[in-house]
Copies of this chain bind each other. A is one copy, B any other.
């Protein structure tokens, strides 16, 4: 790989993501106007406030075309929480009369302003990021920290790295993606000194990787990537980043350094898989996929996906425990609110019920009618005698002695995965509480070729599933 090839590709990527002067100017003007209006509206309140712009558009690290302006109105830290909320909404409604409320840790107003999407969020003006009362209180400290350190050259490096992360599918700290937040990409580029330097470092990472830009971290973290927040020594900015996404970043960093291409920096949504193609893959693999399809509970993605994953583990572990060997798993919910890699916000309103699915691809979906059941060691006399008497009268093979134990071969409760999934026993596994409620309302079980039915709702997800890449 030559430096020239790398630089040429980076130049082409920057061509896409560096905002034009015109866009910068319009964004600056909108932010200024929103701040002025917010401060004016807040002036009528009986407390002292100020308004600050935060987020990537405040730090010059936004990607061309992003139209998000975040303005935080800061209130005194001794203001009761309910006052903060009512004052915050009052200011928000005045600045954005056509906006609507959303809810993260507390409610805030979102609305359009001159073609930009503006979030107007109340927070506490705490003296130090370690004294925050709500997660949003931390954001102004992040902006101040980066503002002092990111010049326009480094901001451009951040934009290239962000776009790279988007291209390879690891951008976004929401709990669906579990990738890198915008703030994390900024800290990494700042720590390593540039886009290329970040890739070179990541290519050689030996997780657990620990960075501590402010050299003040004390706590231990059990994550593959640890970046101590320079504004809060107790916080790992990469806490949400999964091991899989760390490994993906390493893989693509190496691949891009070896062969830089613009394509790697562009998200590549595959064509949805057709039902016929799904059937073909099922035949070719000769596994037995089983799917539980149900109405997704009405939750924001950041609540929904942890519940889906927990439920998927519960079902897969129980299938495995019952002898149905699990080959691979996945869980999907149809998009309810547009949460995805492009959206790194903490929350998002859910709409009407959307289909969700727990997919478990099984290597073994049928077991023999009999199962081996080991009893106590024969020498544990009381238990052993109880076991022997119980099964001696039952219609089972045995009891016989194997090693020091009694063993019987009795009828298996569920000889097929379908029988288990269609039974009430499904609701006894460890499920997310809202998923459990949703399943109690009813669900479909699809087995083998029947999963081709999912192509209508989850064609793209199925395409990614059957042709997995790093």
Taking beta carbons and an 8 Å cutoff, which residues of A are in contact with B? 203-207, 224, 243-244, 246-248, 250-251, 254, 284-288, 323, 325, 327-328, 363-364, 367-370, 372, 377-379, 381, 384-385, 388, 397-406, 409, 415, 466-470
Contact B363 A247 (CB under 8 A): no
Chain B min CB distance to A176 (Å): 17
Contact B415 A468 (CB under 8 A): no
Contact A247 B372 (CB under 8 A): no
Contact residues in B for A244 (Cβ distance below 8 Å): 401-404
Identical chains bound together, number: 2
Contact B323 A323 (CB under 8 A): no
Contact residues in B for A467 (Cβ distance below 8 Å): 397
Q: How far is the CA of A285 from the CA of B372 in the complex (A)?
A: 11
Contact A205 B251 (CB under 8 A): no
Contact B287 A388 (CB under 8 A): no
Contact A370 B207 (CB under 8 A): no
Q: How far is the CA of A406 from the CA of B252 in the complex (A)?
A: 13
Contact A224 B404 (CB under 8 A): yes
Q: How far is the CA of A381 from the CA of B202 in the complex (A)?
A: 11
Interface centre among A323, A328, A388, A399 (most CB of B within 10 A): A328
Chain B min CB distance to A375 (Å): 11
Residue of B286, B288, B385, B415 touching A370 (CB-CB under 8 A): B286
Contact residues in B for A398 (Cβ distance below 8 Å): 468-469
Contact residues in B for A204 (Cβ distance below 8 Å): 381
Contact A378 B251 (CB under 8 A): yes
Contact B247 A377 (CB under 8 A): yes
Contact B254 A400 (CB under 8 A): no
Contact B363 A323 (CB under 8 A): yes
Residue of B205, B415, B468 touching A397 (CB-CB under 8 A): B468
Q: How far is the CA of A406 from the CA of B466 in the complex (A)?
A: 16
